[in-house]
Structure 1
């Protein structure tokens, strides 16, 4: 799908800006339909990382073996490091569940290999 802004001329952009109405009103997350609070779904922030090709391929293979996306796999490693880094905060329940599944899966693979 193409972004309609890609085809705008400078005059189109200027005309759009002229139609904007600026106010001093406060804008909140709720104005955009963003839920906040303890029961709100997590907000995921895209993060670009650079790694050598070989590491990327190993990461993809490991994530595939665990039945995870590369993003979920990398996120789990970061969450584990943060949790074990002495912050004193307990991992969220869903992280503990994922790690338990991973550990169980790894144990199954070792049993099959022996």
Structure 2
């Protein structure tokens, strides 16, 4: 724990938050220390928020690609069951390819 405390002390000193000790009021060091703790908490929260956002985006696009593959397989199954009639494929093949290869969001 001393390493963390020393780092926080150094950061608070570099920020100039410990100037209250020079003035004679003993509150400056404590204010600087607490400000540095709050900054570290904000950085950690920002990092976790960014990581969650990236994971959520990855899961969304994975789900979109899987829906595209499922739609493409369904199209070919319907074509096989209907004896080679690809009428439904006129709409579903381009739609499934868009879902698979697009970098835009298409699903709700």
TM-score by length of 1: 0.23
CA radius of gyration, larger in: 2
TM-score by length of 2: 0.23
Higher relative contact order (CA 8 A, sep 6+): 2
